[in-house]
Structure 1
Amino acid sequence: MSALCRMRLAEERKQWKKNGIFGFYARPEKAADGSLNLLVWDVGIPGKAGTPWAGGMYKLKMTFPEEYPAKPPKCKFTPPLFHPNVFPSGTVCLSILDEEKGWKPSLNLKTILQGIQTLLTEPNAADPAQSDAFGLFQKDKVQYERKIRQQAIDMRDS
């Protein structure tokens, strides 16, 4: 891992421990030898209260490249979510995670996670990644929200 990447991720971990976002969790994975792997983080994003996503805790794997912060992390829901901007693989389709679109090295863990939480409740119809979810979102909001509420229940129970 490059020195800049290591320093940045260590600082982000320190800042997260000091003032992370209530209800979220974010922690580097532990390697087999017990050390922390700062390049791979386990994250939990709660659904916003008052939305069909409420009550669910959505698990995400963040994988940071050696070139971070020059390049964005890859964010993947595990298990994959039913959402217009989440690929069937679970990978999040969000402009701030795309170095060709909205990524800036000044973005940090907190900003990324808040952006993903907002994306859950405010899908971007201009950038669909999952045709079934996008189609239902466009054609039948009531059925879409019913499916999202069931997903929130399933995420709570897992």
Structure 2
Amino acid sequence: MSGGIARGRLAEERKQMAQESPPWFCCKARDSTRWFDEFTDWEGGYYPLTMHFSEEYPSKPPKCKFPAGFFHPNVYPSGTVCLSILNEDCDWRPAITVKQILVGIQDLLDQPNAADPAQTEGYHLFIQDTAEYKRRVRLQAKQYPATI
């Protein structure tokens, strides 16, 4: 991204997020965004999420990816997050902020969308074997230990 509206908007959003973010949230520009949530099966993890913003942001949504192979019904095997607000042909609106995207992804982790699966194994376990699904989520949290 070389400048213009996208760069200014992101700078302003980052500044605002630094002032308002909860203690479990960490954001590094030009690196990745990571967080861990407490009191869920995801607790204890520090999950790397890369957000790629084109020069067309905020007209077009960022591309959001976890590492390839990330276990979740709404994350493609490539790591790309499947969330309607990240789809410019679906629910994306230029008024959606980075913070709203991150909260949406966090909500998706805790409450998968069974109507829009992106990953066969995660989807089947979520639907058919809740205990095994939760075990895999807790196992994944150990793969990404919190470092803060």
**How far 1:144 moved relative to its partner?**
0.6
Query: For residues 47-66 of structure 1, what are the structure 2 equivalents within 5 Å?
Result: 48-66=37-55
* Contact 1:85 1:130 survives alignment (8 Å): yes
Q: In structure 2, list runs of 5 or more residues that go unmatched.
A: none
Aligned-pair Cα RMSD in Å: 1.5
**How far 1:138 moved relative to its partner?**
0.9
Aligned position for 1:24: 25
- State the distance in 1 between where 2:6 and 2:66 align: 23
Aligned-pair identity in percent equals 49
- State the distance in 2 between where 1:64 and 1:144 align: 32
In 2 relative to 1, CA 22–126 (structure 1 residues): closer, same or farther, beyond 3 Å? same
Aligned position for 1:107: 96
**Does residue 92 in structure 1 map to residue 81 in structure 2?**
yes
Q: Following TM superposition, where does structure 1 have runs of at least 4 consecutive aligned residues deviating by more than 6 angstroms? A: none
Comparing both structures, which one devotes a greater share of its residues to strand?
A: 1
Give the secondary-structure state (helix, strand or coil) at the position aligned to 2:32: strand
- State the distance in 2 between where 1:86 and 1:21 align: 24
- State the distance in 2 between where 1:114 and 1:56 align: 16
Give the secondary-structure state (helix, strand or coil) at the position aligned to 1:87: coil
Give the secondary-structure state (helix, strand or coil) at the position aligned to 1:28: coil
Give the secondary-structure state (helix, strand or coil) at the position aligned to 1:127: coil
- State the distance in 1 between where 2:64 and 2:99 align: 13
Give the secondary-structure state (helix, strand or coil) at the position aligned to 1:75: strand
- State the distance in 1 between where 2:67 and 2:45 align: 13
Q: Which has the higher contact order (CA 8 A, sep 6+)?
A: 2
What is the number of residues matched between the two proteins? 146
* Contact 2:46 2:146 survives alignment (8 Å): no
Query: For residues 3-18 of structure 1, what are the structure 2 equivalents within 5 Å?
Result: 3-18=4-19
Q: For each residue in 1:73-124, what CA deviation from the matched residue of structure 2 results, as whole angstroms up to 9, or x when unmatched? A: 0000125410000000111000111111111111111111111011001000
**Does residue 74 in structure 1 map to residue 63 in structure 2?**
yes
- State the distance in 2 between where 1:69 and 1:138 align: 35
* Contact 1:133 1:144 survives alignment (8 Å): yes
Among 129, 136, 139, the residue aligned to 1:140 = 129
**How far 1:27 moved relative to its partner?**
2.1
Which stretch of structure 1 is more off in the superposition, 92-101 or 71-80? 71-80
